[in-house]
Amino acid sequence: MISWMQKHHKYMVWTIWVAAIGFIGAGSVGWGSLHFGSKATSIAKVGDIEISQQKLNQAYSTLYNRYAQLFKGNFDDKKAKELGLVQQAFASLEIQAKLLNFAKENGIIVTDEEVAKKIESIQIFQTNGVFDKKAYKTYLQNQRLKAKDFESTLKDDMIIEKTLSLLHIKPLNLEVNTIASSMNIADKISYKILKSSDINVSLDENKIEKFWQEHKEQYQTQKIYQLAIIWEEPQDINASNDELKSYYEENSFNFTDTNGKILNFEEAKPQIKQALALKQLKRKAQLDYIDLKKGKISQPKTEAFSINDPQFPSNIWQEIETKDKGSIIKPKIINNKYAIIKIVSIEEPRVKTYQEAKDEVTKDYIITQKQQLLHQKAKNIVQQLQKYNPTTTDFIKIDNIDKFTDLNQQESLQFLQKLFISNKEKGMINISDNKIVVYNILDQKIEVADQNKTDIIKPTVDKLKTEIFQSNLIEQLNQKYQTQLYRKGLTK
Share of the chain above pLDDT 70, in %: 88
pLDDT digits (tens, 9 = 90+) for 324-363: 999 999 999 898 889 999 999 999 999 999 999 999 999 9
Q: Which pTM does this prediction carry?
A: 0.50
Q: What is the CA radius of gyration of the chain?
A: 29
pLDDT digits (tens, 9 = 90+) for 108-117: 999 999 999 9
pLDDT at 260: 65
Q: Which residues contact 62 (CB under 8 A, 6 or more apart)?
A: 20, 22, 23, 26, 28
pLDDT at 73: 67
pLDDT band at 142 (very low <50, low <70, confident <90, very high): confident
Cα 469 to Cα 178: distance, rounded to the nearest angstrom? 18
pLDDT digits (tens, 9 = 90+) for 450-491: 665 667 677 878 888 888 888 899 999 999 999 999 888 888
pLDDT band at 12 (very low <50, low <70, confident <90, very high): very low
Which helix H or strand E contains 230, and what residues bound it?
strand 224-232
pLDDT at 356: 95
Range of lowest pLDDT (3-17, 241-255, 410-424, 454-468): 3-17
Q: Could you give the 3-state DSSP secondary structure of residue 449?
A: coil
Mean pLDDT of 1-21: 41
pLDDT band at 430 (very low <50, low <70, confident <90, very high): very high
Cα 111 to Cα 164: distance, rounded to the nearest angstrom? 17
pLDDT at 259: 67
Are β-strands 328-334 and 185-195 bridged in parallel, bridged antiparallel, or unpaired? unpaired
pLDDT at 468: 85
- Higher pLDDT residue, 70 or 9? 70
Instruction: Return the closest-CA partner of residue 345 out of 328, 330, 326, 329.
Output: 326
Range of lowest pLDDT (38-47, 52-61, 85-94, 134-143): 38-47
Number of helices and strands in the chain (H, E)? 16, 13
pLDDT digits (tens, 9 = 90+) for 258-290: 766 778 888 888 888 888 888 888 889 999 999
Cα 208 to Cα 364: distance, rounded to the nearest angstrom? 9
pLDDT band at 168 (very low <50, low <70, confident <90, very high): confident
- Tell me the CA distances in angstroms from 172 to 185, 431, 469, one per residue in order: 21, 35, 14
pLDDT band at 298 (very low <50, low <70, confident <90, very high): confident
Range of lowest pLDDT (51-55, 186-190, 354-358, 458-462): 458-462
pLDDT digits (tens, 9 = 90+) for 24-41: 444 443 334 444 443 447
pLDDT digits (tens, 9 = 90+) for 210-239: 999 999 999 999 999 999 999 998 887 778
Instruction: Return the closest-CA partner of residue 274 out of 349, 338, 328, 204.
Output: 338
Mean pLDDT of 432-441: 93
Range of lowest pLDDT (223-232, 336-345, 372-381, 416-425): 416-425
Which helix H or strand E contains 432, and what residues bound it?
strand 426-432
Q: Quick check: 185 and 444 in contact, CB under 8 A? A: yes
- Higher pLDDT residue, 34 or 87? 87
CA 310, 316, 319, 324 dihedral sign is negative
